[in-house]
Structure 1
Amino acid sequence: MDAEEKQRLEHIANNSLYDKGANAATIHYEFNVFRRFVVPGSILELGPAEGLMTGHLVDLGQEVICVDGSEFFSEKLKEKYPSIEVITSLFENFETDRKFQNIVLGHVLEHVDDPVEILKLARNWLAPDGILFAAVPNARSLHRQAGVIMGLLGAENELNDLDHHHGHRRVFDPESFRQAFLQSGYNIDYFGGYWLKPVSNSQIEAHWSPEMLEAFMKLGERYPDISGEIYVVGSLKK
């Protein structure tokens, strides 16, 4: 199973689109959201991929350790950020005695085989007073709802072509996302969203200005249940 999963991850990594176009813009905005909640101390980033979020984390001036299952991504990260520690491992196989004040899972839980298992594992790595931040695409996003009405999707949580390209295994809605944290034994300190996304990435990239993209990122915070991305800030139950 490990060999199959590693092969899958290498294929995704060598064909990744996360650092391009509207996808890249969501990661930059995701950091702006995370920055509101980050606490002093070390940061463990799970699944950094091309390292767009990583660059922002490094700029915070705090210790950053990254864990990624792809050798391709890991080697690129080591070249790009020589000051940080990069560990190549499936999350299920990662072991450490350290406790981190911040754990970041940006666009991770939609990829893994069992999100609840990964969140439970992360509890072992989170400091008692630390925070875990996770963000995922939202099945209730306006563009997915429109896709169902137009007959392009059979259901809001159906995987589309871009989901398959990214290697997504699921699309969370707000309830299923929060439930994964509750089943894993976390407090949900904050739930929110960003990016009110009315149309597809390709349409946005062809016609929208950077100012439009930024405005709709912010609008998504007003309407989290129908935003393109949703996030949770969790902590360990006392």
Structure 2
Amino acid sequence: MTLNEKNHLENIAQNSLYGAGANEKTVKYSFNIAQRYLTGTTLLEMGPAEGIMTELLAKTDKKLTLLEGSAHFCKDLKSRFPNAEVVHALFEEFLPADGITYDNIILGHVLEHVEDPVSILRNTKDWLTPNTGMLFAAVPNARSLHRQAAVLMGLLGSEHELNEMDHHHGHRRVFDPESFRKAFNDAGMTIDIFGGYWMKPVSNKQIETTWTDEMLQAFMALGERYPDISGEIYIVARNKQ
């Protein structure tokens, strides 16, 4: 499984589109939300990929550890972020040094990729500073307006069906608000906040063709008012003991 998974990640990394178009704006907006809850001095970012959020995290005062499964991405991250510790490993392989916990853990668009999200969350629970540590995770929302519209138009069989871009990104699932919360509950984590952002009525391609930056920012913010049908959903969780 390990070799196959690493090859899978390298194939995705060679033609990744997470840093392209509206996706870049989405990642940057998710940082704006995550930074509201940052605490302490240490931060583990899991799956930084092109390092879009990393660029913003590097401007905080946190000591960064970057955990990335793609050697292609790791090489780039090491050159761009020399002050960060870059670890090339699958999430399932990673073990912090004895006694080390992190005050913050960021999983931006991670849990839709992994084989077993609950197992990953159980691991991160052990890596998080008890009680005071903060975990921020964001994923695409199956109940997003653009997915609901795609079902009505017959482009998707259901809101949870993987579309063309899901396959390109290597997604294994699309969470809805209930299944997202359930993964954290099953992992024994305490959910402090559930929210959303990015009210997305149509596809990225349509948006990138006609929308202005002002429209993008307005609809990113509008999604915070209606999280259940926003394009992206997030959870802030802790390891309460």
Which category of TM-score, normalised to the shorter sequence, fits these structures?
over 0.9
User: How far 1:73 moved relative to its partner?
Assistant: 0.5
Assess if the C-alpha contact under 8 Å between 2:198 and 2:220 holds in 1.
yes
Assess if the C-alpha contact under 8 Å between 2:48 and 2:67 holds in 1.
yes
The size of the alignment, in residue pairs, is 238
Q: Secondary structure at the match of 2:196?
A: strand
1:218 aligned to which of 216, 221, 230: 221
Measure the CA separation in 2 of the matches of 1:29 and 1:105. 14
Match of 1:232 in 2: 235
Measure the CA separation in 2 of the matches of 1:79 and 1:161. 32
* Map 1:174-185 → 2, pairs under 5 A: 174-185=177-188
1:58-83 deviation line (CA, Å, top 9, x unaligned): 10121010001000000010011111
1:138 aligned to which of 141, 150, 174: 141
Measure the CA separation in 1 of the matches of 2:44 and 2:110. 13
Match of 1:170 in 2: 173
Q: Secondary structure at the match of 1:82?
A: coil
Q: Secondary structure at the match of 1:108?
A: coil
Displacement over 2 Å in runs of 4+? none
* Map 1:1-238 → 2, pairs under 5 A: 1-96=1-96, 97=98, 98-128=100-130, 129-238=132-241
User: How far 1:101 moved relative to its partner?
Assistant: 0.2
Measure the CA separation in 1 of the matches of 2:16 and 2:80. 17
1:160-188 deviation line (CA, Å, top 9, x unaligned): 00000000000000000000000000110
Measure the CA separation in 1 of the matches of 2:43 and 2:153. 42
TM-score calculated relative to the size of structure 1: 0.99
Assess if the C-alpha contact under 8 Å between 1:185 and 1:237 holds in 2.
no
Measure the CA separation in 1 of the matches of 2:12 and 2:148. 27
Measure the CA separation in 1 of the matches of 2:82 and 2:103. 22
User: How far 1:237 moved relative to its partner?
Assistant: 2.5
Unpaired segments ≥5 residues, structure 1? none
Q: Secondary structure at the match of 2:122?
A: helix
Measure the CA separation in 2 of the matches of 1:223 and 1:209. 22
Question: One-letter code of the match for 1:38?
Answer: L
Q: Secondary structure at the match of 1:100?
A: coil
Q: Secondary structure at the match of 2:133?
A: strand
Question: One-letter code of the match for 2:88?
Answer: T
User: How far 1:40 moved relative to its partner?
Assistant: 2.1
TM-score calculated relative to the size of structure 2: 0.98
User: How far 1:41 moved relative to its partner?
Assistant: 1.3
